[in-house]
Amino acid sequence: MKSIFLFLATFALGAVAALAVRTARHDPAPVSSFPVSGLPTPVSAAPVSPAPSPVSGLPIPVSKSPVNTVCAICGMDVDPKLPTAEYQGKTIGFGCRMCPPKFKAEPDKFGPLYLRNEVVKR
């Protein structure tokens, strides 16, 4: 019976110590939805002006999709997250991060393969 009380006392003391440590280390993030006074800010009755429309004379950049679906160097499918390159006015895509430097080193070797959607034969 004495060992049960000793266990419960040790358990309770450990729980209190853990709670004290957690409380000391707790740093809540500030809530920005309410001001310091705790009351919500009133919404203005003045109408909000619409955002200005974009200037129609400026060209909008259009992302070109690559002409190939397979990387000519590694043979993997083209990854849309990777940067593309231009070869003879066409956009080509790569399968991995290792391929763009290899292509830039020898564009005439790999460029025609990219345009034909073929893989280098080794």
pLDDT of 42 reads 59
Cα 44 to Cα 79: distance, rounded to the nearest angstrom: 48
Residue 94 has pLDDT above 90, yes or no: yes
Whole-number pLDDT of residue 99: 92
Q: Is the pLDDT of residue 19 over 70?
A: yes
10, two tokens? 């040790």
Query: Which sequence spans correspond to the domains of the chain?
Result: 64-122
Tell me the two tokens of residue 118: 């073929």
More confident residue, 42 or 105: 105
Question: Which residue's structure tokens are 């909008």?
Answer: 60
CA distance 93 to 64: 10
pLDDT in tens, 51-84: 665 655 555 455 578 999 999 999 999 999 999 9
Q: By the 8 A CB rule, do 86 and 68 touch?
A: no
User: Residue type for 41, please?
Assistant: T
